[in-house]
Each structure stands twice: as structure tokens, then as C-alpha cells.
């Protein structure tokens, strides 16, 4: 079991560079970011080199949040902005050595034009990543937390991967979102296994530490690794009190899994 600290939510009260060192101190196996762009990429790379942990991913930017943006890549009216955000993410990912870029789809109509826009933006990104080992991941999000978000379910994400037609485009399978939107998480994971590039987790329904709620992550993580998953599992949750006080879940899941 390999655990990645999502530093967009964990230790969010600290400056980003301090969060990087916290992840190492607390024995995570990797780190991932949401929107690290307020920190110069070269400065972040220095911290990453010191902790010597893999960087699993960063997100493309949300866009203009004050106007309701939550990603740009499936929004037909924002192709120019989306391409600039893709370029930004690629350059940043290259500097820090990120393994993936999470392609934020955005809030837009469920229609052919939005689908075409997303596929073409993914194809553009693929063309810009030909000389790298950086992958692209797309994440289905639940409509309770992200109303209007274009990508809503795992099967839709699989179809998009197939339409792009490149093995570097995969699904980010967040058990939290999939459970709320669709349920049947382990069967759905196995049915779409060949298209899954990264896994994330949080408790359902409150999105806290993964020892609460209706999903048994000791069982789930054991099952996905038995099935053949070899990647990292991103801890992307809102700490119930503070991050340090809630980290006992790491030992509990590992102990129960043995």
C-alpha cells in the first residue's frame, strides 16, 4: 500500500512548502497537489528534492472562480483560456517532475459540443507531452459537491479516454466521488481497471479521514492491490480537526490490512 498526501487539503493552514516537509515527516510515500501555482516551480522543486518523494500530480487551474469556473477544458467558449492553462500546467509539471496532470473539465452543458471540446483539449495536451513521461487524468466528480461539473461518472470518463485514443489519458478514480455518484465501487473499479491512472479516497459522506463513514478502506485498498493496482492512493480529505491529529488512520488501515 502506497499512500500519497494531497497537499491541497492536508495541512492547508500551512504555507505550501511547509506542507511538503510535513508529508515526509508523517511517512507518506508520495505527495500530490491541487493548485500549487502561487509558489514558484523552481522553489517547490528544491523542497521536493529534499524530501525525495514522488510527485503524483497537479491540476490545471479552475479559471475565474468568481464567475463560477471550476475548470476550463470542456467549456466550448473557453478554449483559448483552457489551452493557456494546459501550457501552464505542463511547464510547471516538467519543472517539479510531476507524474500526472489532472485535467479539470469545468461546469458546462452535457452535450456533444462540450464533449468535443474536452476531447480536443486532451488531444492538444497529448501532443504537447510527446517528449515527456507525464500522463493526463480526468476525474468524475459528484454533483452534490460539484453541481454542473461536466464529468459525472466512471463510464463517461472511460468513453472520453477511448475517444482521445491515447494510453497516457486515464481516469482518476476517487472512491469518495464514485460512491456518492454511483456506488458499487469495487466492481466499477475492476470493470474499468485498464483505464485507471490514479486513485483517491476520503470518507463518505463527509469527506473526512478515510476511517469514518460508509466505505471500508481497509478492505477496499486490500482488494484493489490484490486485483493488480500498483500505483499510489491519494489521501484527499478535509481533516475533521487538524491533519496531524487525524493521521492515526494510516496505521489503522495498514494494521487492519495485514
Q: Name the residues annotated as catalytic.
A: 139, 236
C-alpha 227/C-alpha 225 separation (Å) is 5
C-alpha 106/C-alpha 148 separation (Å) is 8
C-alpha 62/C-alpha 39 separation (Å) is 16
Q: Are 202 and 6 in contact (CB under 8 A)?
A: no
List Cα–Cα distances, 239 to 147, 157, 210, in angstroms: 23, 28, 10
All three cell numbers of 157: 470518463
Helix axes 112-128, 154-164, angle to 10 degrees: 60
Q: Provide long-range contacts, Cβ within 8 A and 24+ apart, for 15-21.
A: 16/44, 17/43, 17/44, 17/47, 20/44, 20/47, 20/48, 20/51, 21/47, 21/50, 21/51
All three cell numbers of 148: 454542473
Q: Largest alpha-carbon pair distance within the chain?
A: 51
Amino acid at each position: 500500500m502506497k499512500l500519497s498526501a494531497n497537499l491541497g487539503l492536508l495541512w492547508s493552514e500551512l504555507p505550501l512548502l511547509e506542507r511538503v516537509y510535513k508529508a515526509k515527516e508523517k511517512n507518506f510515500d508520495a505527495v500530490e497537489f491541487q493548485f500549487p501555482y502561487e509558489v514558484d516551480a523552481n522553489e517547490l522543486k528544491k523542497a521536493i528534492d529534499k524530501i525525495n518523494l514522488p510527485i503524483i500530480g497537479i491540476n490545471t487551474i479552475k479559471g475565474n472562480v468568481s464567475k463560477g469556473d471550476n475548470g476550463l477544458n470542456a467549456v466550448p467558449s473557453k478554449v483559448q483560456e483552457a489551452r493557456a492553462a494546459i501550457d501552464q500546467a505542463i511547464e510547471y509539471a516538467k519543472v517539479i517532475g510531476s507524474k500526472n496532470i489532472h485535467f479539470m473539465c469545468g461546469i458546462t452543458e452535457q452535450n456533444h459540443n462540450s464533449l468535443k471540446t474536452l476531447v480536443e483539449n486532451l488531444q492538444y495536451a497529448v501532443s504537447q507531452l510527446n517528449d515527456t513521461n507525464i500522463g493526463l487524468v480526468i476525474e468524475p466528480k459528484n454533483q452534490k459537491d460539484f453541481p454542473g461539473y461536466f464529468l459525472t461518472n466512471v463510464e463517461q470518463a472511460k468513453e472520453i479516454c477511448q475517444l482521445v485514443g491515447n494510453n497516457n489519458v486515464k481516469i482518476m478514480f476517487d472512491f469518495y466521488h464514485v460512491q456518492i455518484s454511483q456506488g458499487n465501487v469495487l466492481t466499477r473499479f475492476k470493470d474499468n481497471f485498464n483505464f485507471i491512472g490514479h486513485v483517491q479516497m476520503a470518507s463518505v459522506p463527509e469527506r473526512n479521514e478515510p476511517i469514518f463513514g460508509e466505505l471500508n478502506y481497509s478492505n477496499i485498498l486490500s482488494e484493489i492491490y490484490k486485483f493488480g493496482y500498483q500505483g499510489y492512493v491519494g489521501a484527499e480529505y478535509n481533516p475533521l480537526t487538524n491533519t496531524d491529529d487525524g493521521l492515526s488512520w494510516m496505521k489503522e488501515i495498514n494494521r487492519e490490512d495485514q
